Structure 1
């Protein structure tokens, strides 16, 4: 749902052939009921639990995941985590799947006297066409509202509570963050574009078939 539940410390990160083996130290309240094979969003990336040793939880990120996300290039030792939603949980944020679309580059931070932070990111093609002002975007697993949109540059307002509970304060300009575009928005945009293209092509065909 894009509601980060806490942060985990990276205890170990071993780059092995074809995968990155992670060991994370979970906050105690997020280990309850956790089982092997369970899905957990790590910096917004859906990973399966491969080992459990008390509060030390293991994950594997394969080459495909590393190519699409920032997990293999993190410059800090903490990550956002969110357990999978369960039936009856409050639905907050927006529906996220942990299937990261790609990464976006941080191009600026601005902070005001009240410790609100404006994060500016550059979203690459083809994903920026699905991001709109006042729309949803999941960034490092956080469901966030886009405050401003200028071509491929988007501004997101991070309130002090979000900064306190997430890893955003550990990032710097030039770093890359994981993004997941809203699936419903993507379907809507693609459907409208296909419909408009189909109508336009039909009009052109009719025009040539029945010249004035």
Structure 2
């Protein structure tokens, strides 16, 4: 379980396809010990298992395995070396809960329709939303975009709006978003549970 509060990012060093799946290597300042091997890490909203750690200069080199299913059902199919991903360690008992319940289970990928960065205090981003997921969206409710806990500002016919504050922009990969990019989306767990039919 995660909170969607992102405090660390990583740079993709390598994303390689092999016969039995995909292998992802990420460079990050996020600190780990050998005890963390085998734990779950949210990588831009996708829950992955940390399989190996190596020191890389003053940072850490993190290794993950991804199944073909994970890649095909997430925005990782567009991933390449040099890309920035958001990183969050799984919650521990007693941790502050500041975002919302995020499982790291991507429901779908959606497209960026527009990015308005004219206001230096905040960006306005519109995303498309498939019809089958729209019923789970609530204005002022929560949604996880690339693993980030965000508030839905407005819902329209086939799209919704979020407003991104400078702190979130500076500490996540949303700063690099452009029109027609795809992002990982996890619908709010409570909304999915209450509205499940």
Query: Is this a same-fold pair by TM over 0.5?
Result: yes
Q: Give the one of 70, 74, 77 matched to 2:75.
A: 70
Please identify which structure carries the higher strand content: 2
1:132 aligns with 2:138: yes
Q: Give the Cα separation in 2 of the matches to 1:168 and 1:185.
A: 24
Note if 1:60 corresponds to 2:38: no
- Measure the CA separation in 1 of the matches of 2:90 and 2:7: 10
Gaps of 5+ in 1: 195-212
**SS at 1:66 equivalent:** helix
User: Structure 2 stretches of 5 or more lacking a match?
Assistant: none
In the alignment, which residue of structure 2 is the partner of 1:17?
19
Q: What is the number of residues matched between the two proteins? A: 190
TM-score w.r.t. length of structure 2: 0.91
Q: Deviations over 1:128-153 (max 9, x none)?
A: 22012111100000000000000220
- RMSD over equivalenced CA pairs, Å: 1.5
Select the structure with the greater relative contact order (CA < 8 A; seq sep ≥ 6).
Answer: 2
Q: Deviations over 1:21-47 (max 9, x none)?
A: 0111121x4325652211000011000
- After superposition, give the CA deviation of every residue in 1:78-116 in whole Å (9 maximum; x if it has no partner): 100000011110001101100111101100011243331
Specify the structure having the higher radius of gyration (Cα).
1
How does the TM-score come out when normalised to structure 1? 0.85
CA distance in 2, matches of 1:37, 1:61: 14
- What SS does the aligned partner of 1:30 have? coil
- Match of 1:98? 104
